[in-house]
């Protein structure tokens, strides 16, 4: 693997536009910006309200090297209508917004089981989290013993093609914290540089020099 050169830190988590969610349904499940007590069963029930993939969608995925078994287990990839807002989304059935999009919905597994849902719109490369709980798709793989680097994929397409092995980052702003001690495998050198930037801590300590050594460099 090619070595990654250090790049300057930059802002992450770019906005994709859209409206914020203030409806009663969403506030039921959030306190401020943090998820409240919605259970795994409720997340699963919301996910299963989506529709199964049509035959032409299954055929399209097959042509891209993704078989039906990978799309169906352990949680099925379903389709639904959503409204994106920055790095989050809401289901259209719960909001009054005409700017909805068709997206694939992926269950996000963590060590607590099903912890969140991710919406993926391949045409726009948009991917977002429903509750904001999840750092990455398949994040339960982060804490597993790593005898080899953990693959990090740019999008769910490559992740599915790899048989769901590895992760897809949903919240890049905390990548430096969640992946600090994890050996990772990028898709290519350019992607490796992107990950190197994300893994640079945003916290830069202030360093002072005692007055008796004021002329020395820190």
In tens, the pLDDT along 161-201 reads 999 999 999 999 999 999 988 999 999 999 999 999 998 88
The total number of structural domains that make up the chain: 1
* Residue 213, domain member (yes or no): no
Predicted TM-score (pTM) of this structure: 0.77
Angle at CA of residue 191, ends 195 and 118, nearest 5°: 75
* Residue 8, domain member (yes or no): no
* Residue 192, domain member (yes or no): yes
Q: What is the pLDDT of residues 115-156, one digit of tens each?
A: 999 999 999 999 999 999 999 999 999 987 888 999 999 999
What b-and-e string marks burial along 34-47, b requiring 16 or more CB atoms within 10 Å of the CB? Answer: ebeebeeeebeebb
* Residue 41, domain member (yes or no): yes
Which residues form the domain of 93?
24-201
């Amino acid at each position: 693997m090619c070595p990654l050169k250090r790049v300057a830190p930059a802002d992450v988590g770019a906005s994709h536009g859209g409206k914020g969610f203030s409806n009663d349904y969403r506030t039921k499940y959030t306190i401020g910006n943090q998820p409240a007590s919605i259970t795994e069963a409720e997340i699963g029930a919301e996910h299963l309200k989506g529709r199964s993939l049509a035959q032409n969608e299954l055929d399209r995925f097959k042509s891209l090297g993704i078989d039906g078994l990978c799309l169906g287990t352990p949680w099925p990839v379903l389709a639904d209508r959503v409204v994106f807002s920055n790095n989050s989304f809401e289901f259209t059935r719960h909001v009054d917004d005409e700017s909805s999009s068709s997206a694939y919905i992926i269950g996000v597994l963590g060590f607590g089981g099903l912890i969140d849902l991710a919406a993926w719109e391949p045409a726009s490369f948009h991917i977002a989290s429903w509750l904001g709980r999840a750092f990455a798709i398949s994040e339960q793989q982060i804490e597993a013993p790593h005898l080899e680097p953990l693959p990090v994929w740019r999008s769910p397409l490559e992740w599915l093609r790899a048989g769901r092995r590895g992760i897809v980052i949903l919240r890049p702003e905390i990548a430096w914290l969640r992946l600090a001690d994890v050996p990772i495998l990028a898709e290519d050198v350019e992607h490796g540089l992107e990950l190197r930037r994300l893994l640079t801590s945003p916290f830069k300590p202030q360093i002072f020099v005692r007055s008796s050594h004021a002329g020395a460099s820190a």
